Amino acid sequence: MPSNRVNMYMSITVSSNDLLDFASSLEWHGYRRSDGRVGIRNHRIVLSTVALTDWLAAAIAATDKDSVCIAGAFSRGLQKIDEAMVDRFIRSVLTHPNVGAALVMTHDRASAERLAGEIDTAIPIEYLAFMQCAGRAKAVAEGCEKLQILASQQNKLEQRRAKVEQSAVALALECGGSDVSSSICSNPVIGDICDLTISTGGLAVVSETAEFIGAETIFEDRCPDAATRQAVLDFIGYRARLMEQDSGKDYRGTNPTQENIDGGLTTLIEKSMGAVSKTGTTNFVSALEFGMPPCALGLHFMDTPFFSPVSLTGMMMAGCNLGLFAMGVFNPSGNSLCPIIKICGNPQTLWFWRDDIDVELDGYFMGEIDRGGAQRAVLTRMNAVFNGAETASEKVGEGQFMLPRSKDAL
As a dihedral over the C-alpha atoms of residue 80, residue 409, residue 174, residue 390, rounded to 10 degrees, the angle is: -100
Q: What is the mean pLDDT of the chain?
A: 88
* pLDDT tens digit sequence for 111-122: 999 998 888 888
Cα–Cα distance for residue pair 251/287, rounded to 1 Å? 23
Q: What is the mean pLDDT of residues 151-159?
A: 91
402 occurs within a structural domain: no
User: Is the same domain home to 128 and 209?
Assistant: no
Residues 290 and 185 placed together within one structural domain of the fold: yes
**Please, which pLDDT band fits residue 322 given cuts at 50, 70 and 90?**
very high
Q: Is 36 inside a domain boundary?
A: no
Q: How far apart are CA 229 and CA 224, in angstroms?
A: 7
Strands, E assignment, 215-368:
284-288, 298-302, 322-327, 340-344, 359-360
Predicted confidence band at 268 (pLDDT cuts at 50, 70, 90)?
low
215 and 141 in a common domain: no
C-alpha 235/C-alpha 219 separation (Å) is: 12
The answer to whether residues 223 and 119 belong to one domain is no
For residue 128, pLDDT over 90 is answered with: yes
Indicate if 180 and 303 belong to the same structural domain: yes
Backbone CA torsion sign across 280, 285, 287, 289:
negative
Tell me, yes or no, whether 271 and 251 share the same domain: yes
Split at pLDDT 50, 70, 90, the class of 264 is low
Quote the Cα angle for 45-47-52, to 5°.
Answer: 150
9 part of a folded domain: no
409: three-class secondary structure by DSSP: coil
Per-residue pLDDT at 267: 65
Do residues 46 and 70 touch, judged by C-beta distance below 8 A?
yes
Q: Per the domain annotation, does 105 fall within a domain?
A: yes
Nearest Cα residue to 203 out of 338, 321, 33, 336: 321
Last residue of some domain: 110, 133, 157?
A: 157
pTM of the model: 0.91
Whether 253 shows a pLDDT value over 60: the answer reads: no
Domain span at 122 = 43-157
- Predicted confidence at residue 121, as pLDDT, reads 87
Residue 209 sits in the same domain as residue 95: no
- Whether residue 401 lies inside any domain: the answer is no
Instruction: Write down which residue in 157, 188, 217 finishes a domain.
Output: 157
Boundary of a domain, candidates 101, 123, 157: 157
Q: 44 with 100: CB under 8 angstroms?
A: yes
Q: Are residues 61 and 103 in the same domain?
A: yes
The whole-number pLDDT of residue 5 equals: 34
Specify whether 196 is located in the same domain as 140: no
* 170 in the same domain as 151: no
369 residue type, one letter? I
4 occurs within a structural domain: no
Q: Name the packing angle between helices 187-199 and 268-277 (round to 10°).
A: 40
The answer to whether residue 55 sits within a structural domain is: yes
Q: Is residue 7 part of a domain?
A: no
Buried b / exposed e over 366-395, threshold 16 CB at 10 Å, is: eeebbbbbbbbbbbbbbbebbeeeebbbbe
Side chain identity, residue 38: V
- Cα Rg of the chain (Å, integer): 21
Q: How many domains does the chain have?
A: 2
DSSP 85-144: HHHHHHHHHHT-TTEEEEEEEESSHHHHHHHHHH---SS-EEEEEGGGSSSHHHHHHHHH
Together in a domain, 91 and 176: no
The long-range contacts involving 80-84, CB below 8 angstroms and separated by at least 24 positions, are 81/406, 81/407, 82/403, 82/405, 82/406, 82/407, 82/409
* CATH number of the domain that residue 116 is part of: 3.40.50
Per residue in 203-238, pLDDT (tens digit) is 999 999 988 888 888 888 899 999 999 999 999 999
Cβ neighbour number for residue 403 with a 10 Å cutoff: 21
- Residues 122, 180, single domain; the answer is no
Per-residue pLDDT tens for 327-380?
988 988 999 999 999 999 999 999 999 999 999 999 999 999 999 999 999 999
Query: Tell me: the pLDDT tens digits for 272-305?
Result: 677 889 999 999 999 999 999 999 999 999 999 9
Decide if 29 contacts 387 (C-beta within 8 A): yes
Report the distance separating Cα 251 and Cα 233, nearest Å: 16
